[in-house]
């Protein structure tokens, strides 16, 4: 009884975590499944085939993954560069329209994705812009931008402006100050903004679905095949994404801990 | 940039933030190679003045001259001026060596290694070159900040409350250290502080600032011995200020203080008004029993009663009430503890001081201006 009272928070915490991770475990388990028919979600037979040959058996999937990776990478790079510069301008300079810019950046985060997707579609159609890879890319950069600006701004807010003033005082011009002082100190914020952008872009379905034309991304492929039974290779991609993300987080923790240890020494 | 050199002159320098006038048309001449202090309470405009010289704040009007060059509109990185920031602003991601080398690298100087090593040994931090700033103590960080600025051999080094974050003992030590380094390198130091003792210990010349204006400019001794305003009289040390009226003027000015006659040398009377504050520092006054006439030769004398006597080690402090004086005109007397004092609380006493230790200020000024204790109440 006493033991339970002492550890109740830990127990409840573990239960909640377990509950949250059940879907992930199911995905990982099903990635080793060899189903008898396309329509079954039961675990029939264990196999490594899905991991060894993810592209065979589900021919349309790998091109879709490639499209998603490509869009994810390009929109991450675009949104991170633009967003970092915007955050810097919003924090370090005074200019006309600054308040409006802050508000407009917040809007994509606040408005429902369905609204965003459909209004973008209206925009592209009325401008007779052909739907496809480029419209998806533009849409992704647009909504990732807000998250990058918010993340980088938070990092900038915690940075003493006197560091930049000190650099200018020590003969660094504006560009050198940004390159040598601001950018290195912002790097952790920029990195987390980039990771966030990539995952937002990689798994976006609603906005993408409105603006994709005939281009198929990985989430759209999954949605499409879900009607007929999801091939186990989809679970391989899902598990791989999860494991990569986990590896990045663990790596980040290790590097952070090592840095702190070096500083404490 | 290298040809700019000479005295630093601020000419009608002014800075407004909206309706607020932070610096109100000040004129200051700071001779090349001197140690100059801008002293004043927080919000007096001293830091704004410093930031304008550094180029981190653009003046609303006026000139900042080094020699004959007006640098007021130059970018900070184009001025032969470096700053030691309050709380140092060391670059946290660079090690000590790279922090100190930063200015040299930006200017493309060749022998970075030799100069950095020489500078690190000047501030006794050779062993710490590869540490990060966060691994150093406050005092060590302070020395890195100094080295990082000094290595550039600026025409003027600006110090913004550089010792504020250090504890008292370390601060004393750094005051002497800074003074030594300044004498050694011969660079003009402009030091901003609210600590009057710090300013007086280090500076050749002090400008006392208040509400955006320079109250008085002079050597520490000048300011202390012969203050020209009540603000200076109270902000630097303590002063007794008594209501007086000028009766006659000559080499010595005769002033009546509630029926008592006080003499003041004409050179120490800062006003032509008849109504004055008569000032005398507490430690200039001798206190003795009423029957003791040993100090009669000094010239100025009052008779009163000791209200309070407190022993504080180096000195004994008395508060003396003089019959006929106002309630807030009780006189403070500090007596060095050389001999045991003959005077106790409640005794009738004779207090005496030399006329040349007396000063007179315009009675229109607030008697409590710059009095840290009175303003806190």
Phi, psi (rounded to 5 degrees) for A226: -60, -30
* pLDDT tens readout for residues B243-258: 999 998 888 999 999 9
* pLDDT tens readout for residues A176-213: 999 999 999 999 999 999 999 999 999 899 999 999 98
Question: Does B334 contact chain A (CB < 8 Å)?
Answer: no
**In chain B, ranges of CATH 3.40.50.300 domains:** 8-225
- Position A40 scores a pLDDT of 57
Interface test with A, best of B92, B104, B158 (most A CBs within 10 A): B92
Residue A142 has pLDDT above 90, yes or no: yes
Residues of chain A with C-beta less than 8 angstroms from the C-beta of B55:
168-169
Interface test with B, best of A92, A166, A172 (most B CBs within 10 A): A166
The residue of chain A with its CA nearest to that of B53 is A169
Q: Which CATH superfamily is domain B230-376 in?
A: Nucleic acid-binding proteins (2.40.50.140)
Residues of chain B with C-beta less than 8 angstroms from the C-beta of A181:
91
Q: How many CB pairs under 8 A join A and B?
A: 64
* pLDDT tens readout for residues B179-212: 888 988 889 999 999 998 899 989 999 999 999 9
- Position B215 scores a pLDDT of 93
The CA distance from B224 to B236, in Å, is 6
Q: Closest to A171 (Cβ–Cβ): which among B90, B91, B107? A: B107
Most confident of the ranges A37-41, A82-86, B293-297: A82-86
Q: How many residues does chain A have?
A: 265
Helix (H, G, I), strand (E, B) or coil at A74: helix
- Position B1 scores a pLDDT of 45
**C-alpha neighbours within 13 Å on the C-beta side of residue B24:** 12
The CA distance from A223 to A144, in Å, is 22
In sequence order, which ranges of chain A are alpha helices (DSSP H)? 2-30, 49-52, 61-92, 98-110, 113-126, 133-157, 161-169, 174-177, 183-202, 206-211, 218-226, 232-264
Region of residue B297 (phi > 0: left; psi between -120 and 50: alpha; otherwise: beta): alpha
Residues of chain B with C-beta less than 8 angstroms from the C-beta of A163:
89, 91-92
Distance from CA of A262 to the nearest CA of B (A): 9
The CA distance from B266 to B280, in Å, is 15
- Single out the residue of B333, B329, B336 nearest to residue B367, CA to CA: B329
What average pLDDT score do residues A204-230 get? 89
Q: What are the distances in angstroms from CA A94 to CA A156, B14, B217, B356?
A: 15, 22, 37, 56
Per the CB < 8 A criterion, the answer to whether B324 and B258 are in contact is yes
Interface test with B, best of A160, A165, A171, A188 (most B CBs within 10 A): A171
Question: Does B164 contact chain A (CB < 8 Å)?
Answer: no
- Position B55 scores a pLDDT of 94
Report residue B144 as tokens: 């890195």
Distance from CA of B54 to the nearest CA of A (A): 7
pLDDT band at A43 (very low <50, low <70, confident <90, very high): confident
Residues of chain B with C-beta less than 8 angstroms from the C-beta of A173:
75, 77
Indicate the pairing of strand B81-84 with strand B156-160. parallel
The CA distance from A105 to A82, in Å, is 12
- The pTM score is 0.80
Distance from CA of B146 to the nearest CA of A (A): 12
A-contacting residues of B 122-141, CB under 8 Å? 132, 134-135
Are A170 and B134 in contact (CB < 8 Å)? no
Are A263 and B85 in contact (CB < 8 Å)? no
The residue of chain B with its CA nearest to that of A170 is B103
Q: Closest to A263 (Cβ–Cβ): which among B76, B87, B134? A: B134
CATH architecture classification, B8-225: 3-Layer(aba) Sandwich (3.40)
- Single out the residue of A207, A203, A197, A195 nearest to residue A111, CA to CA: A207
Residues of chain A with C-beta less than 8 angstroms from the C-beta of B157:
none
- Single out the residue of B157, B151, B149, B143 nearest to residue B113, CA to CA: B151
The residue of chain A with its CA nearest to that of B76 is A169
Residue A232 has pLDDT above 70, yes or no: yes
Are B77 and A163 in contact (CB < 8 Å)? no
What ranges make up the beta strands (E) of chain B?
A: 8-17, 20-30, 35-39, 61-66, 69-70, 81-84, 156-160, 188-193, 205-210, 213-218, 240-248, 252-257, 260-265, 275-280, 286-289, 300-311, 315-321, 331-336, 348-353, 358-362
Other residues' Cβ atoms within 10 Å of the Cβ of residue B27:
13
Give every CB contact of residue B222 below 8 A, 6+ residues apart in sequence: none
Of A160-169, A233-242, B55-64, the least confident: A233-242
Are B89 and A165 in contact (CB < 8 Å)? yes
The CA distance from A26 to A32, in Å, is 10
Distance from CA of A64 to the nearest CA of B (A): 41
Distance from CA of A186 to the nearest CA of B (A): 11
- Position B377 scores a pLDDT of 44
Q: Closest to B106 (Cβ–Cβ): which among A165, A170, A185? A: A170
Distance from CA of A91 to the nearest CA of B (A): 17
Continuous segment of H or E residues that includes residue B220: helix B220-225
Per the CB < 8 A criterion, the answer to whether A144 and A76 are in contact is yes
Are B85 and A165 in contact (CB < 8 Å)? yes
Question: Does B89 contact chain A (CB < 8 Å)?
Answer: yes
What average pLDDT score do residues A223-243 get? 86
Are A170 and B77 in contact (CB < 8 Å)? yes
**C-alpha neighbours within 13 Å on the C-beta side of residue A200:** 27
Of A58-62, A163-167, B313-317, the least confident: A58-62
**In chain B, ranges of CATH 2.40.50.140 domains:** 230-376
* pLDDT tens readout for residues B82-118: 999 988 999 999 999 999 999 999 999 888 999 999 9
Residue burial B153-171, b: 16+ Cβ < 10 Å; e: rest:
ebbbbbbbbbbeebeeebb
Q: How many residues does chain B have?
A: 377
Helix (H, G, I), strand (E, B) or coil at B42: coil
Residues of chain A with C-beta less than 8 angstroms from the C-beta of B86:
162
Domain boundaries, chain A: 61-215
For A179, which DSSP code?
Answer: I
Interface test with B, best of A170, A178, A184 (most B CBs within 10 A): A170
Report CA torsion sign: B50, B53, B57, B60: positive
- Position B296 scores a pLDDT of 87
Residues of chain A with C-beta less than 8 angstroms from the C-beta of B96:
none
Q: What are the distances in angstroms from CA A217 to CA A74, A77, A194, A198?
A: 14, 18, 20, 14
The CA distance from B154 to B105, in Å, is 15
- Position A17 scores a pLDDT of 94
Helix (H, G, I), strand (E, B) or coil at B60: coil
Residues of chain B with C-beta less than 8 angstroms from the C-beta of A176:
106
Residues of chain A with C-beta less than 8 angstroms from the C-beta of B83:
165-166, 169
Mean pLDDT score of chain B, rounded to an integer? 90
Choosing among 1.10.3720.10, 1.20.210.10, 2.40.50.140, 3.40.50.720, the CATH entry for A61-215 is: 1.10.3720.10
Q: Which residues of chain B have pLDDT under 50?
A: 1-2, 377
- Position A93 scores a pLDDT of 86
Residue A12 has pLDDT above 50, yes or no: yes
The CA distance from B239 to A117, in Å, is 75
Contacting B with CB below 8 Å, chain A residues are 160, 162-163, 165-173, 176, 180-181, 184-185, 263, 265
Q: Closest to B83 (Cβ–Cβ): which among A160, A169, A173? A: A169
């Amino acid at each position: 009884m006493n033991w339970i009272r002492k550890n109740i928070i830990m127990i409840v915490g573990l239960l909640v975590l377990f509950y949250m991770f059940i879907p992930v475990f199911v995905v990982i388990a099903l990635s080793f499944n060899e189903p008898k028919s396309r329509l079954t979600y039961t675990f029939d037979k264990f196999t490594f085939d899905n991991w060894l040959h993810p592209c065979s058996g589900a021919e349309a999937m790998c091109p879709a993954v490639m499209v998603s990776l490509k869009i994810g990478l390009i929109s991450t790079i675009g949104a991170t560069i633009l967003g970092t510069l915007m955050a810097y301008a919003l924090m370090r300079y005074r200019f006309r329209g600054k308040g409006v810019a802050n508000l407009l950046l917040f809007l994509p985060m606040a408005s429902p994705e369905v609204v965003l997707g459909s209004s973008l579609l209206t925009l592209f159609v009325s401008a007779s812009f052909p739907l496809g890879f480029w419209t998806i890319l533009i849409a992704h950069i647009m909504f990732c931008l807000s998250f990058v600006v918010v993340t980088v701004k938070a990092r900038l807010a915690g940075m003493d402006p006197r560091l930049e003033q000190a650099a200018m005082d020590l003969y660094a011009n504006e560009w050198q100050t940004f390159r040598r002082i601001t950018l290195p100190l912002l790097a952790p914020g920029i990195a987390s903004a980039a990771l966030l952008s990539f995952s937002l872009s990689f798994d976006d379905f609603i906005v993408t679905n409105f603006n994709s034309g005939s281009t198929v991304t990985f989430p759209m492929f999954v949605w499409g095949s879900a009607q007929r039974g999801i091939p186990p290779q989809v679970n391989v991609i899902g598990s791989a994404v999860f494991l990569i993300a986990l590896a990045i987080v663990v790596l980040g923790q290790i590097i952070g801990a090592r840095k702190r240890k070096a500083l404490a020494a | 940039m290298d040809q700019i050199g000479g005295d630093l002159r601020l000419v009608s320098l002014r800075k407004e933030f909206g309706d607020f006038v932070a610096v109100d048309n000040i004129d200051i001449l700071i001779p090349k190679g001197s140690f100059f202090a801008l002293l004043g309470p927080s919000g007096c405009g001293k830091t704004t003045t410093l930031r304008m010289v550094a180029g981190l704040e653009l003046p609303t009007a006026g000139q900042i001259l080094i020699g004959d060059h007006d640098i007021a509109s130059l970018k900070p990185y184009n001025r032969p001026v470096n700053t030691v920031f309050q709380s140092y602003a060391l670059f946290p991601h660079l090690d000590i060596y790279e922090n100190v080398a930063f200015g040299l690298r930006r200017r493309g100087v060749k022998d970075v290694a030799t100069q950095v090593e020489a500078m690190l040994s000047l501030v006794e931090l050779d062993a710490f070159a590869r540490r990060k700033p966060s691994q150093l103590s406050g005092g060590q960080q302070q020395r890195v900040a100094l080295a990082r600025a000094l290595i550039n051999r600026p025409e003027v080094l600006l110090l913004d409350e550089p010792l504020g974050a250090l504890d008292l003992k370390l601060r004393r030590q750094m005051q002497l250290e800074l003074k030594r380094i300044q004498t050694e390198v011969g660079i003009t130091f402009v030091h901003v502080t609210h600590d009057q003792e710090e300013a007086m210990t280090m500076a050749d010349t002090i400008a006392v600032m208040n509400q955006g204006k320079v109250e008085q400019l002079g050597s520490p001794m000048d300011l202390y011995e012969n203050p020209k305003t009540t603000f200076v009289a109270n902000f630097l040390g303590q002063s007794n200020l008594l209501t007086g009226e000028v009766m006659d003027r000559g080499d010595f000015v005769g002033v009546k203080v509630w029926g008592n006659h006080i003499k003041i040398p004409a050179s120490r009377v800062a006003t032509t008004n008849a109504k004055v504050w008569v000032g005398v520092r507490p430690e200039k006054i001798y206190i003795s029993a009423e029957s003791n006439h040993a100090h009669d030769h000094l010239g100025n004398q009052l008779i009163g009663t000791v209200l309070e006597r407190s022993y504080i080690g180096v000195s004994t402090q008395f508060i003396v009430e003089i019959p006929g004086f106002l309630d807030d005109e009780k006189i403070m007397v500090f007596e060095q503890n050389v001999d045991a004092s003959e005077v106790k609380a409640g005794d009738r006493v004779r207090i005496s001081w030399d006329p040349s230790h007396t000063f007179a200020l315009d009675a229109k000024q607030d008697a409590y201006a710059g009095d840290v204790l009175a303003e806190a109440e």
